[in-house]
Chains A and B, each alone.
Chain A
Amino acid sequence: MNQVPTAENVVEMLRDEGIAELAVDFPADGNLFDAGMDSMAVMQLIVVAEERFGAVIGPADAGRENLETPAALARLIASKVP
């Protein structure tokens, strides 16, 4: 059983992997796209979410509403954890 991430875990993952340069206290509802995440970074994110959490994010899930904030991302990843 894979672990379900919190918004804090998501921020940590994005920072560790160099996907987005975020402050340690980046808010759960902060806008990741405004913080510099782009479609190339989203590709990294999808790969890393699968490596870390086993969450398979498909093309239909890769919408702004699912990826925009650490909280939304944590929810998306949780829903995709097998």
Chain B
Amino acid sequence: MSRDVIVLGAGSAGLAAAVTAAREGAQVTLLERHGYAGGMGTASLVHTFCGLYRMGEGPPVMANPGFPAEMAGRMLASTGDGGPVKMGRVWVLRQHPVDFVRIADELLRESGIEVIYHAEAFKAGREGGLWAVDYACRGQIRRLEGKTVVDASGDAVLAGLLDGASYQAEPAKLQRPAYVFGVQGVIEGEQGLALAGRIVDGIRRGVLSQAALGLHFRASGRAGELFGTIDLSGAEEGDYDPLDGACLSRLEEVGRSVAGAAVDFLKGEAGGWGGAYISHWPVRAGVRESRRWQGRYRLTGDEVLGGVRHADDIALAAWPLEFRETNRGPKLRYPDGDRAAGIPLGCLQPVAPEGIFTAGRCISCDHDAQASVRVMGTCFATGQAAGLAAVLAARGEPVEGLPARLEARFGPLE
């Protein structure tokens, strides 16, 4: 049986793409390597939706219409949070990974998508005018056929399988990965600046390693629960390569070891932390940047900083350039006048071949622009656009009409 659209990866972009395509009446199959959707926002415990709201002064206003706004609404209804909060100069929405999984389940069920979890694509090619994607599940090999494919794998996995044109920043420049874990049992515990001072004190005394520098905790919104986040250097031994299994394995091990030592230390020394324990490991460390498709258009960091718009924009990049090139905290660069740049259609279209679209953090852009567009709020928006683009292509309609179709369906950009 062939379907209209195959979506690779059920993270924020893949979920948006699959749901949007299915709501257009397309037959959609979504392939996901974990047992639930949400990607970075669930498996890697990233607990903040960034890029949902316009930048600048004033109250929070959604930057992109359609799926991003729907996700924000569903998340608020699920967590019971009062609304977005200001983090520095920008509005963000706190999200909970457990809620995200349930919301994704509802969305996927409601829109009649065939979801295949525990599946990893390992081969793809053209066959009889269709795309054939082979995937493995526990030693069983199966084939999917579809008219179009959306690569929302985050790592441009399809580009790897098809030997498609792609690029990746040099190891030293790649955004460092985040390691997020859950903590419970802290009762009115020391936090914020005092906790930061305490951790540095632990490093100074040699109880904690240098890797704990930058570890910070945020309330999850659930009673007594925190998330700890460490930016890892990624280069514990050798160069950081987020596509290399051995390198990723070291990351996981280092993340757990730093987190474990830090919580043990705080249990003994920080007020209110006596009963603290790690309640949640991530399924995987949060890779921020890896391989990207080379598309018909390559968005640059200068364009994002200039708030540049294009005639064929399909989404807005409403997040500053957030650099994490070292594990010494974020460096933010804001666009001129806080104007959101547009992401044109060509960023979702690989230079070749036809019938493939990409969305999320592996769209076609340079390293600097990726520091803005990688966030989940923007991934919802590029995912939505790629889902609709895939439907147009599957029906033989011109994809160039996508911006107008998006506007007719969801409303104008800004």
Task: Determine whether the beta carbon of B331 is less than 8 Å from that of A39.
Answer: no
**A63 surroundings in chain B (CB, below 8 A):** 193-194
User: Using Cβ atoms and an 8 Å threshold, which residues of chain B touch A42?
Assistant: 193, 196-197
User: How far is A56 from B330 in the complex, measured between Cα atoms in Å?
Assistant: 24
Q: CB-nearest residue of chain A relative to B191?
A: A39
Q: Is the CB of B331 within 8 A of A60?
A: no
Most buried by A among B88, B193, B204: B193
CB distance from A19 to the nearest CB of B (A): 8
User: Which residue of the partner chain, among A41, A58, A59, A67, contacts B329 with CB atoms under 8 Å?
Assistant: A41
Choice from A18, A44, A64 contacting B213 with Cβ under 8 Å: A44
CB distance from A67 to the nearest CB of B (A): 7
CB-CB under 8 A from B332, the residues of chain A are 21, 36
Q: CB within 8 A of A58: which of B88, B89, B201, B216?
A: B201
Task: Select which of A43, A46, A67 is within 8 A of B214 by beta carbon.
Answer: A43
Number of interface residues of B (CB under 8 A): 23
Instruction: Give the distance in Å from the alpha carbon of A80 to the alpha carbon of B197 in the complex.
Output: 14
* Contact between B194 and A59, CB atoms less than 8 A apart: yes
Are B216 and A40 closer than 8 Å at their CB atoms?
yes
Q: Number of A residues contacting the other chain (C-beta, 8 Å)?
A: 23
> Given contacts A46-B200, A61-B197, is CB(A39)–CB(B328) below 8 Å?
no
Please count the residue pairs between chain A and chain B whose beta carbons lie under 8 angstroms apart in the complex.
Answer: 64
State whether the Cβ of B198 lies closer than 8 Å to any Cβ in chain A.
yes
A16 at the interface (CB under 8 A from B): no
Give B332's nearest chain A residue, CB to CB: A36
Map CB proximity to A onto B196-213 as digits: 1 under 8 Å, 0 otherwise.
111111011000000001
Residues of A within 8 A of B330 (CB): 40
A44→B377 CA distance, assembly (Å): 29
Query: B198 near A59 (CB under 8 angstroms)?
Result: yes
CB distance from A38 to the nearest CB of B (A): 7
Whether A29 is near chain B, meaning CB under 8 Å from some CB there, is no
A:1-55 near B, CB below 8 Å: 18, 21, 36, 38-44, 46-47, 50
User: A38 near B88 (CB under 8 angstroms)?
Assistant: yes
From DSSP, what is the main secondary structure of chain A's interface residues? helix
**In the bound complex, what is the Cα–Cα distance between A57 and B196 (angstroms)?**
11
Query: Which residues on the A side are within 8 Å of B197 (C-beta)?
Result: 42, 46, 57-62
Partner pick for B194 among A21, A47, A56, A60, CB 8 A cutoff:
A60
How distant is B16 from chain A, measured CB to nearest CB, in Å? Answer: 30
Q: Are B328 and A67 in contact (CB under 8 A)?
A: no
Interfacial chain A residues near B401, Cβ < 8 Å? none
A28 to chain B, nearest CB (A): 20
Residue of A nearest to B231 (CB): A40
Q: Does B76 contact A (CB under 8 A)?
A: no
Query: What is the CB-to-nearest-CB distance from A33 to chain B, in angstroms, rounded to a whole number?
Result: 9
Most chain-B CB neighbours within 10 Å: which of A38, A40, A56, A59?
A: A59
Report B's interface with A, CB cutoff 8 A.
88-89, 190, 192-201, 203-204, 213-214, 216, 328-332
Assuming A18-B331, A41-B329, A59-B201, what are 16 further A-B pairs, CB within 8 angstroms?
A: A39-B192, A40-B196, A40-B330, A43-B199, A43-B214, A44-B213, A44-B329, A47-B203, A59-B194, A59-B195, A62-B194, A62-B196, A62-B198, A63-B193, A63-B194, A64-B193
- A-B CB contact pairs (8 Å), 7 listed: A36-B88, A39-B192, A40-B216, A43-B214, A46-B196, A59-B190, A59-B194
Q: Lowest 10 CB-CB distances: which A-B pairs, in order?
A: A62-B197, A40-B329, A59-B197, A59-B198, A39-B196, A46-B200, A62-B193, A42-B196, A43-B196, A43-B200
